Amino acid sequence: MASYAHPRTNSNWRIFLERFWPVVIGLGAISFPTWRYITQESWSTEQGSQGPLILGSGLWLLIKMLTSTKGLQSRPPGWQSWGAIISMATLLVLFRTAAIIELEVYALYGLCGALLFSFIGWQALKSVWFPIFYLGFAVPLPESLVAALTNPLKIWISDSVVSLLHAVGYPIASAGVTIQIGQYQLLVAAACAGLNSLITLSALALFYVYLTHRANWRYMAILIMAAVPVAIFSNLVRVLILILLTFHAGEAAAQGFLHNFAGMTTFAIALVTIYVMDLVLQKTLPSARDSGSRI
């Protein structure tokens, strides 16, 4: 596949900023409170730490792909552009006024999409659907949704770890997501990042698979589905490591540097596992060979 690189990319973006700087300033002004919430309340926590990584990689891919849509770009009618922009901006202001921060973030995501639509049109927008969809993983999920999705996972992880350690002789028991080992009491909610690793690994697997195998949808589906059990298993291993650290080294050691180190290690192992699975599948599945479409 031909590279998305364009010799006049920098010049084009400089011209865009010179012509549409009021749009850039206006978007920055209306979205500043939302971005402040995202960076301070979500991205600065373990739950949303994947946000900057997904945002950076998604914008990089979007800019790369936009340079190849010149022939498709066509400004839509004014009523469509202004209708989309005003609708999303109104929702943003309404949700901010009502202090519904989760929906305010999604309204900002929609506003950015409406602005992009107003500049490049529907056909070009459809051609860059993947980076737009991928950037949605950077949007913080509502807390109620996170709790509903993670509670069954946390209970399963808790029961699995307790059963494993009890079988090898550790004094351990659990009640829901609370684990008692020796004199220590732990919450899986504190030791496991909930959907953090599941969302991050799924998003990065999606990004990697799209770049390398976008011509083979069946192969993409296999790898993406494989990312989910790998992420769940990595969470289980992380909880297991933290419980053992707490029991043998004390709570202070497990909640300090080793807590973050265990998270980074298990996440790195999960990423490597996805990559190794890709290599194995390429060698065992004939349809996966030479199907890559690299940028």
238 is catalytic: yes
Instruction: Compute the distance between CA of residue 31 and CA of residue 13 in angstroms, rounded to an integer.
Output: 21
Q: Longest Cα pair distance anywhere in the chain, in angstroms?
A: 71
DSSP class per residue in 71-120: TT--PPPHHHHHHHHHHHHHHHHHHHHTT-HHHHHHHHHHHHHHHHHHHH
Can you state the angle between helices 101-127 and 51-66, rounded to 10 degrees? 30
Q: Is 192 a catalytic residue?
A: yes
Q: Ramachandran region of residue 5, left (φ > 0), alpha (ψ -120 to 50) or beta?
A: beta
User: Pairing mode, if any, of strands 178-181 and 184-187?
Assistant: antiparallel
- Active-site residue (options: 19, 112, 192, 294): 192
What's the CA dihedral at 114, 116, 118, 123 to 10 degrees? Answer: -110
- Active-site entry in 36, 214, 238, 289: 238
Catalytic residue list: 192, 238
